[in-house]
């Protein structure tokens, strides 16, 4: 196995690079691109890269070196010295090297780096002689000892910082740069003393000289220890955590880049900087970045001195040539990588050196702009432009965000359930939210979990914060549908709705009613106080990329919407119909009284009256929906939720009764309440999500589907008479056996026929079903014989396939499952392969049973880019998602087709 790869030139100026940009798995991102830059003739300080595989072998063998690896490194070191015409540690003209980590995936700042390696008590004299700059040389040596001690030996950095501070006090100066060469020389002696006193002799017997630990003078020892430390940093706690958070595999390992040092701090013709080949914030084609004259890399990043804009570089005395060359490098890099790059560079006494490049991170707006501009420039194809934009990132463009320049403390974290940020007064009930909004003030609704009762409050609030429930909880689904920011499942939040306050457990933070709070539904952050919000500009670029994606995609995109405003919004976002209209959302507010009357009364006359009132209201709802979606399909789902969702909570009633009794309230009223409570109690189910809901409701209460179908058919007939083109479709939820569908389909068809006859209008309304139970998926051929279409309800299908309660587990134990890697991701957010298998089976069997069958997905997964790709591969006809995710789904579907 080849363990080490050279990069850069030899002494004669020939390129002797062995790797290239496609070898990131071996050389890490940094090593692969250093090789690539050297290959395309850019000035790269020579060096070599030890592979990531060597790191893993070393780690897996309990930190022992693979056979022969150290010899290979030694050979490459000698080769580097020959190429540079200098030796590491040489007393006359020493070569100094940096030892840097570089994993296949960018893990900024997570792993270790050692600079200025090769300095010792002899080579320091060579460095002084060569640079004629004793201050620079001693400063380099003290930085090396400090970094080596901290990074390689694990000593506390404060030991050294305290010594520097003491020295500054003793000299009466304020800044490090005011210390003289002699001061720094004295510090070097002190640093070596700190090293001797703090390094454990037993752990490092090879460093013991004359009875005590000494700072290693042998460059070979320095180099080996530094490489071992970089290898070890792959498994330091912060790197492990970063990988977990960013879903990076633990077995990739890091490469180690050993590279000749160049210095940006050798005077006023030296400089160092970071730059992007285009503006990473807005995508404009301009030189973007900062530099510092007479400085080292970390000074730029640390922000201790004011940097200057990169465009000025070519106007600075002594830096003109390097500045002009850098601008040429920008063009070379873009033409070569065919993408926006970010770079690190150093100018050493007028000579430009490239230290790093990679494809640059960018905002969503910049990603769109750059992709479109590069297509126009002929640098990339339309297909590539579409692939360049991360669908998930588009969310940034559609919702307000925390201002990146604002400073704030996150007091708690939850699930990022619905993107965008909201700021407002904390309120603890829907009624208070409504009151607050009516008084013209902004609020954030804070609830344990929301229920249909809270809808008015949810609409009134700027955002929603819950301590329970997952990404398909009521709060999350509704918030996404409304485009309202939502953070849910914030377990640290102990809400006392009575007292109107919430405590963040483990802290002394208390959120009281009226306190300003901010939530960021994109990250799941909760902040006490008002964070400045910014509304990102919606550019024409988004439209352009989406139109390009539409040219490629074969998967349709519809929206989940249940009111005309959302329908219209989704139509503007490019939805090709409504894939799911959840009618239960139309039974709230005043109408809740009516449905309650229906459910709780035995008297047929009272019931009939209630049904007629609902019929009238529903007909109005559908008129609005079908009008907004004129000419496009609107799939109306018949009533689905457990009935208790429309009833009072027996617990709340119990409390109310107790209060009335305590106050000596009217006995008859109390008795009536008690009777109601008992009636509701009798209807309560241990497991309502698996109980009387979905099509089962229509079987038990046949008048309900008749009423709903009648409303749909009547609204369609009415609009047809007006010359419009309404296209409703009727969907029956939660079917598990064919007779359920047969029966309700019969009811629907008969009702449609009645309305058509009454109205004298021809009505062709398809009737289909949801596939959201495993039994339905595996018997889909039989079910399809009775269905015009299938819509996969992947929320319930995930719930019932896993046996995971969708309202509980995301906050309960899924985070632990993710942490322990028992699950690769949350199956309620991204479709699980097992559930996808059921969908695939359902589609295939369904089309066997009915070749005309139209198949879509309307669970939350319909708006998740990764899931969209799975659904494309399965061959579904469309996905349906909340309005704000329609653009993402269009882009993801376009990408899936490429
Ligand atoms: C589903 O189960 O995936 C679905 C779309 O229906 P609901 O979320 O309303 O149960
Ligand atoms: Mg469902």
Tell me the β-bridge partners of 558: 880
- Are 307 and 292 a contacting pair, CB within 8 Å? yes
Consult the annotation and say whether 637 binds a ligand.
Answer: yes
pLDDT of 26-36, one tens digit each?
Answer: 999 999 999 99
> What's the confidence (pLDDT) of residue 472?
67
- Are 330 and 20 a contacting pair, CB within 8 Å? no
> What's the confidence (pLDDT) of residue 246?
75
Distances 604 to 105, 255, 707, 744 between C-alpha atoms, Å? 68, 78, 15, 22
| Coil/strand/helix, residue 523 | coil
Consult the annotation and say whether 769 binds a ligand.
Answer: no
Mutation pick for ligand 1 pocket among 639, 795, 827 (CB with most ligand atoms within 8 Å) = 795
Q: Is the CB of 772 under 6 A from ligand 1?
A: yes
729-740 CB burial, b ≥16 within 10 A, e <16:
bbbbbbbbebeb
- Residue 12 has a CB neighbour count (10 Å cut-off) of 7
Q: Which residues contact 618 (CB under 8 A, 6 or more apart)?
A: 583, 586, 707, 708, 711, 712
Instruction: Give the H/E segment covering residue 672.
Output: helix 667-683
92's tokens: 């006359």
- Residue 404 has a CB neighbour count (10 Å cut-off) of 9
| Coil/strand/helix, residue 198 | helix
Q: Is 846 left (phi over 0), alpha (psi -120 to 50) or beta?
A: alpha
Q: Is the CB of 858 under 6 A from ligand 1?
A: yes
Closest C-alpha to 306, from 323, 288, 292, 289? 292
Q: Running DSSP on this structure, what letter comes out for residue 194?
A: H
Instruction: Compute, in angstroms, the gap from residue 745 CA to the centroid of ligand 2.
Output: 18
Beginning with the edge strand found earlier in the chain, give each strand of the sheet holding 421-427 in spatial order.
Answer: 410-413, 525-528, 516-520, 421-427, 443-447, 463-466, 486-488, 415-418
- Measured from the Cα of 560, ligand 1's closest atom is 5
Consult the annotation and say whether 796 binds a ligand.
Answer: yes
Instruction: Give the H/E segment covering residue 704.
Output: helix 703-721
Q: Running DSSP on this structure, what letter comes out for residue 532?
A: P
> What's the confidence (pLDDT) of residue 657?
93
Phi first, then psi: give them for residue 490, nearest 5 degrees. Answer: -80, 90
Mutation pick for ligand 1 pocket among 469, 477, 560, 582 (CB with most ligand atoms within 8 Å) = 582
Q: Running DSSP on this structure, what letter comes out for residue 824?
A: S
Distances 578 to 557, 631, 636, 694 between C-alpha atoms, Å? 9, 11, 8, 19
Q: Is the CB of 794 under 6 A from ligand 1?
A: yes
380's tokens: 């990339």
Instruction: Give the H/E segment covering residue 193.
Output: helix 181-198
Q: Running DSSP on this structure, what letter comes out for residue 212?
A: E
> What's the confidence (pLDDT) of residue 302?
54
CATH 3.40.50.150 fits 401-534, yes or no: no
> What's the confidence (pLDDT) of residue 304?
53
Decide which of 3.30.1050.10, 3.20.20.60, 3.40.50.1240, 3.40.50.2000 is the CATH code for 553-642+685-896.
Answer: 3.20.20.60
> What's the confidence (pLDDT) of residue 308?
83
Distance CA 67, CA 70 (A): 8
- Are 880 and 890 a contacting pair, CB within 8 Å? no
DSSP string, 590-653: HHHHHHHHHHH---HHHHHHHHHHHHHHHHHHHHHHHHHTTTSEEEEEP--S-GGGGSPPHHHH
pLDDT of 623-646, one tens digit each?
Answer: 999 999 999 999 999 999 998 888
How big is the CA angle at 870 (ends 869 and 875), to the nearest 5 degrees? 95
| Coil/strand/helix, residue 488 | strand
pLDDT of 514-559, one tens digit each?
Answer: 999 999 998 899 999 999 998 655 468 999 999 999 999 999 999 9
Ligand 1, atom 1, residue with closest C-alpha: 793
Average pLDDT along the chain, 898 residues, taken 10 residues at a time: 97 96 97 98 98 97 96 98 96 95 85 92 95 92 95 92 93 87 96 96 93 95 96 89 81 96 90 90 86 78 68 91 95 96 94 94 88 97 96 82 89 88 95 92 94 84 90 78 85 92 94 96 93 73 95 98 92 95 87 91 93 96 97 97 86 90 92 92 90 96 96 98 98 98 98 98 98 98 98 98 93 88 93 98 98 97 97 98 94 98
Distance CA 627, CA 51 (A): 63
Q: Locate tokens 């693979």: which residue?
A: 66
Mutation pick for ligand 1 pocket among 772, 828, 880 (CB with most ligand atoms within 8 Å) = 772
CATH 3.40.50.300 fits 132-217, yes or no: no
Q: Is the CB of 580 under 6 A from ligand 1?
A: yes
Average pLDDT, the chain: 93
Ligand 1, atom 6, residue with closest C-alpha: 793
- Are 493 and 506 a contacting pair, CB within 8 Å? no
> What's the confidence (pLDDT) of residue 114?
93
- Are 6 and 82 a contacting pair, CB within 8 Å? no
Q: What is the dotted CATH code of the domain comprising 1-120+218-261? A: 3.30.1490.20
Instruction: Compute, in angstroms, the gap from residue 793 CA to the centroid of ligand 1.
Output: 5
544's tokens: 């352009």
- Are 443 and 425 a contacting pair, CB within 8 Å? yes
Closest C-alpha to 803, from 697, 695, 687, 685? 687
Instruction: Compute, in angstroms, the gap from residue 466 CA to the centroid of ligand 1.
Output: 20
> What's the confidence (pLDDT) of residue 535?
64
Ligand 1, atom 8, residue with closest C-alpha: 795
Consult the annotation and say whether 772 binds a ligand.
Answer: yes
Consult the annotation and say whether 62 binds a ligand.
Answer: no
Distance CA 24, CA 397 (A): 32
Q: Is the CB of 795 under 6 A from ligand 1?
A: yes
**Residues acting as catalytic residues:** 474, 858
- Are 582 and 621 a contacting pair, CB within 8 Å? no
Q: Is the CB of 489 under 6 A from ligand 1?
A: no
Phi first, then psi: give them for residue 90, nearest 5 degrees. Answer: -65, 140
Query: What sign results for the dihedral spanned by CA atoms 830, 558, 469, 393?
Result: positive
Distance CA 264, CA 116 (A): 13
| Coil/strand/helix, residue 130 | helix
How big is the CA angle at 434 (ends 431 and 437), to the nearest 5 degrees? 150
Instruction: Compute, in angstroms, the gap from residue 794 CA to the centroid of ligand 1.
Output: 7
137's tokens: 């040389």
| Coil/strand/helix, residue 240 | helix
Consult the annotation and say whether 283 binds a ligand.
Answer: no
Distance CA 858, CA 846 (A): 17
> What's the confidence (pLDDT) of residue 516?
97
**CA contacts within 13 A on the Cβ side of 122:** 13
- Are 634 and 583 a contacting pair, CB within 8 Å? no
Tell me the β-bridge partners of 7: 47
Decide which of 3.30.465.10, 3.40.50.2300, 3.90.960.10, 3.30.470.20 is the CATH code for 271-362.
Answer: 3.30.470.20
């Amino acid at each position: 196995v080849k363990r080490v790869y050279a990069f850069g030139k030899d002494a004669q100026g020939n390129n002797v690079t062995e790797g290239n940009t496609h070898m990131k798995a071996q050389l890490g991102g940094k090593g692969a691109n250093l090789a690539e830059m050297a290959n395309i003739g850019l000035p790269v300080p020579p060096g070599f890269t030890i592979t990531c595989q060597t790191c893993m072998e070393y780690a897996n063998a309990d930190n022992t070196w693979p056979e022969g690896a150290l010899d290979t490194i030694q050979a490459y070191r000698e080769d580097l010295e020959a190429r540079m015409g200098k030796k590491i540690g040489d007393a006359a003209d020493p070569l100094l090297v940096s030892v840097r980590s570089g994993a296949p995936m960018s893990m900024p700042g997570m792993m270790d780096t050692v600079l200025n390696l090769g300095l010792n008590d002899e080579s320091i004299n060579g460095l002084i002689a060569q640079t004629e700059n004793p201050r620079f040389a001693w400063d380099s040596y003290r930085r090396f000892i400090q970094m080596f001690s901290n990074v390689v030996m694990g000593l506390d950095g404060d030991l050294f910082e305290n010594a520097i501070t003491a020295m500054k006090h003793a000299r009466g100066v304020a800044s490090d740069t005011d210390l003289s060469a002699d001061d720094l020389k004295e510090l070097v002696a002190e640093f070596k003393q700190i090293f001797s006193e703090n390094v454990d002799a037993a752990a490092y017997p090879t460093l013991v000289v004359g009875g005590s630990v000494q700072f290693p003078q042998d460059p070979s020892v320095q180099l080996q220890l530094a490489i071992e430390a970089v290898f070890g940093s792959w498994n330091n706690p912060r790197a492990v955590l970063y990988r977990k958070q960013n879903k990076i595999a633990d077995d990739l390992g890091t490469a180690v880049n050993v590279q000749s040092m160049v210095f940006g701090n050798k005077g006023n013709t030296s400089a160092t900087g970071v730059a992007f080949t285009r503006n990473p914030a807005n995508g404009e084609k301009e030189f973007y970045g900062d530099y510092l004259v007479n400085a080292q890399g970390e000074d730029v990043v640390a922000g201790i001195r004011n940097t200057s804009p990169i465009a000025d570089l070519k106007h600075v005395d002594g830096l003109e040539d390097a500045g002009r060359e850098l601008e040429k490098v920008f063009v070379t890099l873009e033409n070569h990588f065919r993408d926006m790059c970010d770079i690190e560079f150093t100018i050493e006494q007028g000579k430009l050196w490239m230290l790093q490049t990679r494809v640059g991170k960018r905002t969503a707006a910049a990603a769109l702009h750059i992709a479109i501009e590069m297509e126009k420039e002929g640098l990339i194809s339309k297909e590539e432009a579409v692939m360049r934009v991360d669908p998930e990132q588009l969310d940034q463009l559609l919702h307000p965000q925390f201002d990146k320049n604002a400073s704030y403390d996150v007091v708690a974290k939850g699930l990022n359930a619905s993107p965008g940020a909201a700021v407002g007064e904390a309120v603890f009930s829907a009624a208070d939210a409504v009151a607050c909004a009516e008084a013209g003030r902004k609020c954030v609704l804070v609830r344990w979990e929301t229920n249909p009762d809270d809808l008015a409050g949810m609409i009134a609030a700027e955002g929603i914060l819950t301590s329970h429930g997952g990404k398909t909880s009521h709060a999350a689904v509704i918030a996404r549908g409304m485009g309202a920011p939502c953070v849910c499942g914030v377990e640290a939040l102990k809400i006392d709705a009575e007292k109107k306050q919430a405590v963040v457990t483990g802290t002394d933070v208390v959120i009281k009613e009226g306190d300003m709070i901010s939530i960021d539904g994109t990250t799941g952050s909760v902040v006490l106080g008002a964070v400045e919000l910014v509304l990102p500009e919606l550019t024409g670029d988004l439209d352009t990329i989406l139109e390009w994606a539409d040219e490629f995609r074969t998967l349709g995109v519809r929206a989940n919407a249940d009111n005309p405003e959302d329908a219209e919004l989704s139509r503007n976002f490019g939805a090709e119909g409504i894939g799911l209209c959840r009618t239960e959302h139309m039974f709230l507010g005043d109408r809740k009284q009516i449905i309650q009357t229906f459910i709780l009364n035995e008297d047929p006359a009272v019931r009939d009256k209630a049904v007629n009132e609902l019929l009238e209201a529903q007909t109005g709802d559908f008129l609005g929906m079908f009008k907004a979606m004129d000419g496009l399909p609107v799939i109306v789902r018949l009533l689905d939720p457990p009935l208790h969702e429309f009833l009072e909570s027996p617990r709340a009633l119990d409390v109310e009764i107790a209060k009335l009794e305590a106050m000596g309230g009217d006995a008859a009223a109390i008795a009536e309440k008690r009777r109601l409570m008992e009636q509701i109690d009798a209807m309560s189910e241990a497991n309502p999500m698996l109980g009387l809901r979905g099509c089962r409701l229509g079987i038990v209460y046949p008048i309900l589907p008749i009423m709903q179908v009648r409303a749909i058919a009547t609204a369609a007939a009415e609009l047809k008479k007006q010359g419009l083109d309404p296209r409703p479709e009727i969907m029956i939820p939660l079917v598990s056996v064919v007779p359920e569908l047969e029966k309700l389909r019969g009811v629907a068809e008969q009702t449609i026929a009645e309305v058509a006859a009454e109205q004298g209008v021809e009505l062709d309304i398809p009737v289909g079903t949801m596939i959201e139970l495993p039994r339905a998926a595996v018997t889909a051929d039989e079910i399809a014989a009775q269905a015009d279409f299938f819509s996969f309800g992947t929320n319930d299908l995930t719930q019932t396939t896993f046996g995971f309660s969708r309202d509980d587990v995301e906050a309960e134990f899924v985070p632990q499952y993710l942490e322990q890697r028992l699950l690769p991701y949350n199956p309620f957010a991204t479709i699980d392969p097992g559930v996808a298998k059921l969908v695939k089976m359902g589609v295939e069997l369904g089309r066997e049973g009915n070749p005309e069958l139209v198949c879509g997905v309307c669970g939350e997964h319909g708006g998740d880019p990764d899931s969209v790709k799975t659904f494309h591969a399965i061959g579904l006809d469309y996905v349906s998602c909340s309005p704000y995710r329609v653009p993402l789904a269009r882009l993801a579907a376009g990408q899936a087709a490429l």
